[in-house]
Chains A and B, each alone.
Chain A
Amino acid sequence: MFFVVLTPREWVAAFAGYALVLTVSLAVAKVPFRRVLVGLTIEIPFVLFAVLLPFVGPPPDGVGGLSIAGLWAAWNILIKASLGVLTATLLSATTLPVDLVAGLQSLRMPTSVVAILTFFVRYVDVVADQYTRMRVAQQVRGMRSTSPRSWPVIASGLAALFVRSYERGERVHLALVSRGYDGKLPAPPAGRAHSWAIAAVLPVCAAVIFGIGLMTQW
């Protein structure tokens, strides 16, 4: 993504190269097409904004009275957003949250941030389950969550969830110190050479395409 963002919008061939590399990667990783499409829907607000640009941009001097500068700006937003979403989809489809956190730790992310992310990944399901049980308990006693009268109930439910999570945090801390925790989590298992090599394929391809773009200016 670093190279995609750096690439000037006029280098159309370079963007085609990035898209090709990502498409091949998605195919190799066997990411379902439907998942890619669902991922792309997140950029709809940006698309709507980009579509407006050719109409509201500086002097309408181009095709069909549209603004050339506006067309370029719209293209810039569309292609970079799409490539970004494709990259994020590829990452989330091929990497477990646990491995993402381990990766950040290997990349020397501050230990407190890694600890917070580790606990988030571990406990998000526990808290979500608790919330679901609470909602079911509310519904079986006749609460309709669509009515504004339910808002105070939802608010107090969330407050209770916060207090329970806080208390759980304290208990987890007790369990941590009981086993010798002194502020840092153990390092994740070191990545093997071939996993580093696989991880390097995409950035290296992007760098090569960017390099060719630099030389040819397209």
Chain B
Amino acid sequence: MVIELRGVDYTYPDGTAALRDVSLSIARDERVALLGPNGAGKTTLALHLNGVLETQEGEVRVAGRRVERSTLRDTRRQVGMVFQDPDDQLFMPTVAQDVAFGPTNFELPDVPGRVQRALDAVGMGAVAQRAPHHLSFGQRRRVAIATVLSMDPEILVLDEPSSNLDPASRRELAEVLESLDVTMLMVTHDLLFAWQLCPRSIVLSEGRIRYDGSTHELLTDAELLARFRLELPYGVILRTDDV
């Protein structure tokens, strides 16, 4: 298992319980969508995976090792976190320097080769020397993914990867993600994106896991969708034979 959570609880300092007794495991090469309404605890869960938030109760394991202070450095290399706003993720003056940031910090070998391979993997090899703010939003999102691919992570955690993208950029991003040979956990509200990319979905609501199973079964079951406050775009009805 790449990721294992057992009985994870987390309460914010203001008393809001964000996660309650969350247990789940993700196997190598799985692509999993993490769904749920706003405030369900999705981002809190994602931030536990690379130790930015420390567990208060229960345990998180990445590639078999418990996430704790002594393993934090390895964990952060193994869990590639892609944030929702690429402007938060791309802080260096040029794209190449930003993609090199992680590998340099973790003292990984062959940094220039890693940068080139990561940028090529997301189709952004030509913009290596450009400044991030000169790229389109869709390009920045892809470069943000390259910034963690260059660390050869065990798992890619993406926060709302398809938000604010025009339809063509959204399709291009889906193609890029589909081509990557890496385990993926995708926090998203975009149910069709989950349908396209993730065979498995986990639904989180009020900090608890309410569903963990096939994305297709979930999205073709109107009753389940209504129960979890999930809604497909107007006019869209998915059938199991659409797969």
Binding site for B on A (CB under 8 A): 98, 101-102, 118-119, 121-123, 125-126, 168, 171-172, 174-182, 185-186, 188
In the complex, what residues of A have CB within 8 A of residue B88's CB?
A: 168, 171-172, 174-175
Binding site for A on B (CB under 8 A): 47, 50, 52, 73, 76-77, 79, 81, 83, 85, 87-94, 97, 100-102, 104-106, 131-133, 147-148, 151
In the complex, what residues of B have CB within 8 A of residue A125's CB?
A: 133
Task: Give Cα A123–Cα B91 distance, bound, in whole angstroms.
Answer: 8
The 7 closest A-B CB pairs, nearest first, are: A180-B105, A179-B102, A98-B93, A171-B88, A186-B104, A178-B81, A175-B89
In the complex, what residues of A have CB within 8 A of residue B83's CB?
A: 171, 174-175, 178
CB atoms of B93 and A180 under 8 A apart? no
User: If the complex has contacts A98-B131, A125-B133, A180-B77, are A174 and B92 also in contact, measured as CB distance less than 8 A?
Assistant: no
Which of A121, A123, A175, A179 has its CB near the most chain B CB atoms (within 10 A)?
A: A179
Task: Give Cα A101–Cα B131 distance, bound, in whole angstroms.
Answer: 14
CB atoms of A122 and B102 under 8 A apart? no
In the complex, what residues of A have CB within 8 A of residue B104's CB?
A: 186
CB atoms of B94 and A180 under 8 A apart? no
CB distance from B92 to the nearest CB of A (A): 7
In the complex, what residues of A have CB within 8 A of residue B77's CB?
A: 180
Smallest CB-CB separation from B74: which chain A residue? Answer: A180
User: If the complex has contacts A178-B52, A179-B148, are A122 and B105 also in contact, measured as CB distance less than 8 A?
Assistant: no
In the complex, what residues of A have CB within 8 A of residue B85's CB?
A: 171
CB atoms of B105 and A175 under 8 A apart? no
Smallest CB-CB separation from B81: which chain A residue? Answer: A178
Task: Give Cα A188–Cα B96 distance, bound, in whole angstroms.
Answer: 11
A-B contact count (CB 8 A): 70
Which of A118, A172, A176, A178 has its CB near the most chain B CB atoms (within 10 A)?
A: A178
CB atoms of A186 and B52 under 8 A apart? no
Task: Give Cα A185–Cα B92 distance, bound, in whole angstroms.
Answer: 9
User: If the complex has contacts A180-B105, A186-B101, are A122 and B92 also in contact, measured as CB distance less than 8 A?
Assistant: yes
CB distance from B106 to the nearest CB of A (A): 5
Smallest CB-CB separation from A98: which chain B residue? Answer: B93
CB atoms of A101 and B147 under 8 A apart? no
User: If the complex has contacts A179-B101, A180-B76, are A98 and B52 also in contact, measured as CB distance less than 8 A?
Assistant: no
In the complex, what residues of B have CB within 8 A of residue A102's CB?
A: 93
CB distance from B133 to the nearest CB of A (A): 5
CB atoms of A179 and B94 under 8 A apart? no
Task: Give Cα A179–Cα B92 distance, bound, in whole angstroms.
Answer: 13
CB atoms of A178 and B76 under 8 A apart? yes
User: If the complex has contacts A171-B88, A175-B88, are A186 and B81 also in contact, measured as CB distance less than 8 A?
Assistant: no
Q: Per a CB cutoff under 8 Å, which of B91, B102, B105, B131 touches A172?
A: B91
CB atoms of B52 and A119 under 8 A apart? no
CB distance from A153 to the nearest CB of B (A): 26
CB distance from A133 to the nearest CB of B (A): 13
New A-B pairs, 10, CB < 8 Å, besides A102-B93, A126-B133: A118-B93, A119-B91, A122-B91, A171-B88, A174-B47, A175-B81, A175-B89, A178-B76, A180-B73, A188-B97
CB atoms of B92 and A182 under 8 A apart? no
In the complex, what residues of B have CB within 8 A of residue A119's CB?
A: 91
Task: Give Cα A118–Cα B81 distance, bound, in whole angstroms.
Answer: 22
In the complex, what residues of B have CB within 8 A of residue A118's CB?
A: 91-93
In the complex, what residues of B have CB within 8 A of residue A175's CB?
A: 81, 83, 88-89, 91
CB atoms of A180 and B52 under 8 A apart? no
In the complex, what residues of A have CB within 8 A of residue B105's CB?
A: 179-182, 186
